[in-house]
Each structure stands twice: as structure tokens, then as C-alpha cells.
Structure 1
Amino acid sequence: MQPAASYPIGTPGVVWGAAEVAAWRARQVRRRSYADDVLAAIERLRAQLDVEQYGELDYGADRYPLFALRSRDWRDARPVALVTGGVHGYETSGVHGALRFAGHHAADYAGRVNLLIAPCVSPWGYERIHRWNPDALDPNRSFRADSPAPESAALLQLVAPLRERVLVHIDLHETTDSDESEFRPALAARDGKPFTPGTIPDGFYLVDDSAAPQPAFQQAIIAAVAAVTHIAPADADGTIIGSPVVAPGVIEYALEELGLCAGITAARYKTTTEVYPDSPRATPEQCNAAQVAAVRAAIDYALAHPATPAG
């Protein structure tokens, strides 16, 4: 684990400027293909779902079309279920869990709910297995008006006309060992702050909205996922990643205030999943299956309780 002082970019205690961001970006290497892994999968889904291009990222030599999947039988009178993956591109099961849900289970909801699925919000990060975009910005802290992250701005524009009609939004993420070995030290270095080591939860957990918690909804998802993979226990101090555990496998964040993807709509039901792919107790297959189980449980609960008050 690297202390902040040894991070290879920048000067300890000094916020990065353009030169440091450029030096960091030059170190990032393409490790997998968005076209092969994601666009090809989306193309295969055209027989089942409508495919909509909602933007394109222009990063010099790298251009990435952004696609969403919609229910073919969309009706404006129905509620909307929003599924997002790959906001942090390196979080693999978020992308492939969203695609698997679309391919294997979208038909189960025909005539009941409008599905809108954005499976890979951050393709540059997907290819480089990184949390940030090429400007060293975290898309999942950038969902706000005048967003500096084009990935976030494009998704906000896609969702804006539906913001008040979304019933449930589930945003698919992972917590990995590299959060502690690379991404948190990089964040500290970028912001000119000391790096304080933390812990990585061993297991699945959820992030509810502290402004309008829905504990029964969160527990319905936990129960479904527990049949697929293990749920993260609290640390000795009763927290997960430093936040108090409010129920088994559940913590809370101020989603909209923090600029998080799960806060971009007025949905009654919101959650962020966190799978732990580096656990010796979980396989990639289990991680993808856990994401799918979480999506299905979230939508099923929301459809069964459309008028449950917040709190």
C-alpha cells in the first residue's frame, strides 16, 4: 500500500495542476475493449430492446459512443426503472451485470414497467480499468448542473425528461482492493491531502439515500443477494468504509448532495450496489449474478410497493 508521499505523481501537499493530470493520464494503458465487450453485447440486444445513442465522448484519439437500452413496449403511463452500470469504468460486474439483466430478464417486465438501462457510463475508464475519466475526475462525484465530467453530463441529459417519473434507480458498483492500493492514494495526491489508510469490506453492501431512506427496500435487495454471495459485515466500529451500518449490509450517503449517480432522479427507491470481486469467497460469475439479483429485487419491490412513503 502506497503512502501519499510515495504516490508517483505530484508533490505531497500540493493540489494537481494540468501537468500532473497529463502525467497521470500518460500512465493509463488500455487493457480491454469497450467495442468488443460492451458495444457488441448491446448490438446483440437490439432484437429485444430499443437501443438509443445518448451521447459521444471525444477524448482526442479516443471516441466513445454512449448507448442506453429501452423497453420496446415503452408507454408513458408506466413507471420507469433506471439501471446504471460502469459509472466507475473499472467496476466490471456493474457493466456486465447490467447487460446480463437486460439480456436475460428485461422481458420479464414487459407491460409492467419502462426499463432504461445505461450499462457503461464511463467507457474510457472501462478500457483502462480505472475509476476516473481522462481528466482525473470521478464521474460519480460529478452528477450536478454544469458537470465537468462529460460522462455524467450525458447521462443527466438522457434522464432529465424522466426525472420525476422514475420509480426506482439502482446504480451498480464494486468496491475493490485497488480502491485502497491505487485510487484512494491517487485521490489524496490529486487533492494535496494526506492519505489515511482504510478498510475494504469483504462482501456485498448497499448505499441508501440518507435524505429519504427506504430500509425495507434495501433489505429486500440484501435478502435476494444473500442467496448469491455473502453480505459484508460491519467493521469493529460498526461501520462500512467509515459510514455507520444502519441495517445488515446497508449504509447511507447524501446521494444528490454528493453528486452521486443514484441521486439523479426523484425516484422513491434509490440504491447503489457494492460487490467485492477480490474476495476469496466470490467469483466473477457470482459478482455478475449478485448485480442481476439486486436489480430484479429492486424492481420487484418497487412495483409491489409503488406508494410506500419515504422513511
Structure 2
Amino acid sequence: MAQSDVYSIGKLGQKWGPEEKSAWLNLQSIKRSYCDEVVSKIEPLKANFDVEQYGALSYDVEKYPLFVVKSRDWDNSKPTVLVSGGVHGYETSGVQGALRFLETKALRYCDKFNLVVAPCVSPWGYETINRWNPNAVDPNRSFYADSPAEESAGLMAMVASLKLDLNQSLMAHIDLHETTDTDNSEFRPALSARDAVVHDNWNIPDGFYLVGDSENPGDDFQTAIIHAVEKITHIAPPDEDGRLIGVPFSQRGVINYATKALSLCTGFSDASYNTTTEVYPDSPRSDDENCILAQVEAITSGLDFIIQERGL
């Protein structure tokens, strides 16, 4: 039986309905604390940044407030940069990488950019170590009008509230992700069962890579990040077919997706420069700290490239 044929919920060949989604939700449990591991690190940032609550998840509004951290003294003459982490809550280094950037590197860029950092878009997913939200919806396929994922809708509404005009749209959007072995042990089988589809590609790249936008690839921007990050961690090699997760390379360490068509996070923001990072903490050549440092390097090298190219 194929790897995609096996899952504990649902019937083979039948999409999930409310009963199956409820059964899936009943299997989820809290495994770590959003308050202890994320919110507690946001609070000290108030000394140097403006911290705002832009919403709360209806699953538990007290437990899951949503925060954005902004550079102080907002200046409309500066370009604005969005960094998002934890769109998939289980991807730990995305959340912790965004926080580490704020703790250690962000201040040096505040004279050049208005920084907007949403460290954990999906706090329920963070606590339960999940790719989906409680409704079995993937937030990173839900960045469109009338989104079924309140995590995605909340981030889009927050960015809209910045009221950036056509001449002041986002300069850059860097979305921090990671891939873990649970993609194959849990998330891809669950996706196959939920949608009654067969997944033929079970490749997990061993190393760091980027996902650009096929409509706005920003090749030089991606190249600069890859060159910087490879000093921190290894870059994912091609698979046996010369691809990465079944997609042809745009360049070494980079593939491109149609981010808008797929309703990915970087697709909604219309940023001049955009990229999605992917690290692999389960690699024998990496660890959690290395992945956090790689995320920080991806942000800073991207910003350094923009400063140089735009003469900021």
C-alpha cells in the first residue's frame, strides 16, 4: 500500500466531512505553551519596538492573542518590510527566528525600513504542533478574500490596516517556514486522506532552500540570501530527478511557485521582493539553533541586498 493510502481517519477515496474533521480535532492535544515560548519573548520587545495586538483566535481569545511588532517612529518615507513566522504553527524556527531577529538584529535596520514582524500567525498550531488550524484548514493555502482561516484573514487585515498607498506598498515580505520529518509521517498522509487525493512526491529536502514567486522571481534577491545562508547551514541539493519537492530549480537552492494562485502567504502582500524560507531541523547536519540562525540570516541578507540595490 502506498504511503499516501494510510491514515487513521476517513475512508480511502472519500473526502472528509464534518465527522472526520471533528475526529481529527479530537486527536489533537497541547504540547507546548504559546504564552511561555512566544508571548513571554514579545513582552520585552516593548522597550525598543511598538507591540500591538491585531486580533485573537476565536478558539480561545484569551489564550491566543495575535501580535505584531513594529519599528518605532513610523516614517512613510521609508519602505516597509513584512516578516511573518508561524503561518504553519508547527514550524518552530519560523517563529523563533522572527523573534531572534527582533531581539538581536532588527534595530540596525530601523533607520532604513519600517519593520512589521508577525512572529506567530498560528498560535494554536504552535501549541499543538500542527500544520492546519482546528478546522483542518491550512492557513498557507488560505490567503484570499473571505479566507476560511482566521489566522490568514487576521494577518491580511493587519497589513491592510497599515494603509500603504500604491507608492508605499510593501518593499519586501519574508515568510519563515521549515520542513520536518512529520511532513511524511503525519501531514502529507492527513492531506491525502482529507482531500481524497494521492501524493506521489514524498521528498523532504535535506537543507535550506527558498520558494520564490514565479510571477516575480527576484532572482538576484534569492541568490543573495542563498549565498549568505550557506555560511550558516547547508543548502538543499536536488533530488534524484534534479528537482526539489518535485519542482524544477529556478537556481541553486531556489524553486518558484505561483504564490497568488496557490493562496500562499507571500502571494497576498504584493511586495517588490518576496521569498519563503525552508529549513530542515531533522537533518543530521543541523539542529534547532542552527535553523533559527539560518532564518535570521535569511532576513538580514535579504534586507542588506535591498539596501544595496535600492541605494537606501
- Normalising by structure 2, what TM-score? 0.95
Rounded to whole Å, the distance in 1 between the matches of 2:253 and 2:229 is 10
Any idea what SS the aligned residue of 1:148 has?
Answer: coil
Q: Which residue of 1 aligns with 2:293?
A: 289
**8 Å CA contact retained: 2:98, 2:296:** yes
Match of residue 96 from structure 2: 96
Instruction: Indicate if the aligned counterparts of 2:10 and 2:16 stay in contact, CA closer than 8 A.
Output: yes
Aligned residue for 1:182, secondary structure, equals: helix
2:5–2:192 CA contact under 8 A, matched in 1: no
Deviation at 1:3?
3.0
Q: Which runs of 4+ in 1 moved over 6 A?
A: none
Cα deviation 1:107-166 (Å, max 9, x = unaligned): 101221100000000000000111000000000000000100000000000112337521
Which runs of no fewer than 5 residues in structure 2 stay unpaired?
none
CA contact (8 A) 2:53 2:66 kept: yes
Contact 2:201 2:246 in 1 (8 A): no
1:261 alignment partner AA: C
Name the structure 1 match of 2:268. 264
1:302 is the counterpart of 2:291: no
Cα distance change on mapping 1:99 and 1:189 into 2, 3 Å: same
The yes-or-no answer on 1:168 pairing with 2:172 is yes
Counterpart check, 1:228 vs 2:223: no
Secondary structure at 2:14's aligned position in 1?
coil
Q: Is the 8 A contact 1:163 1:266 kept in 2?
A: no
Does the CA-based 8 Å contact 2:4-2:188 persist in structure 1? no
Does structure 1 conserve the Cα–Cα contact (< 8 Å) formed by 2:56 and 2:62? no
Alignment of 1:115-264 (within 5 A): 115-160=115-160, 161-162=163-164, 164=166, 165-264=169-268
2:143 alignment partner AA: F
SS at match of 2:44: helix
How many angstroms apart in 2 are the aligned matches of 1:251 and 1:285?
25
Q: Following the alignment from structure 1 to structure 2, what is the Cα–Cα distance between the partners of residues 238 and 6?
A: 28
Between 1:188-197 and 1:67-76, the stretch displaced more is: 188-197
Q: Which residue of 2 aligns with 1:54?
A: 54
What's the TM-score once normalised by structure 1's chain length?
Answer: 0.95
Answer yes or no: is the 8 Å Cα contact 2:5–2:189 preserved in 1: no
Equivalent pairs, count? 307
Between the aligned partners of 2:155 and 2:72, the Cα distance in structure 1 is 20
Q: CA deviation at 1:74?
A: 1.3
Residue type of the alignment partner of 2:286: A
Contact 2:6 2:189 in 1 (8 A): no
- CA 1:2–1:46 in 2, change beyond 3 Å: closer, same or farther? farther
Identity of aligned residues (%): 56
The separation in 2 between residues aligned to 1:241 and 1:248, in whole angstroms, is: 14
Instruction: State the SS of the aligned residue for 1:259.
Output: coil
The superposition leaves residues 61-95 of structure 1 with CA deviations (integer Å, 9 ceiling, x where unpaired) of 87411000000121111100110000000000000
Q: Is the 8 A contact 2:31 2:128 kept in 1?
A: yes
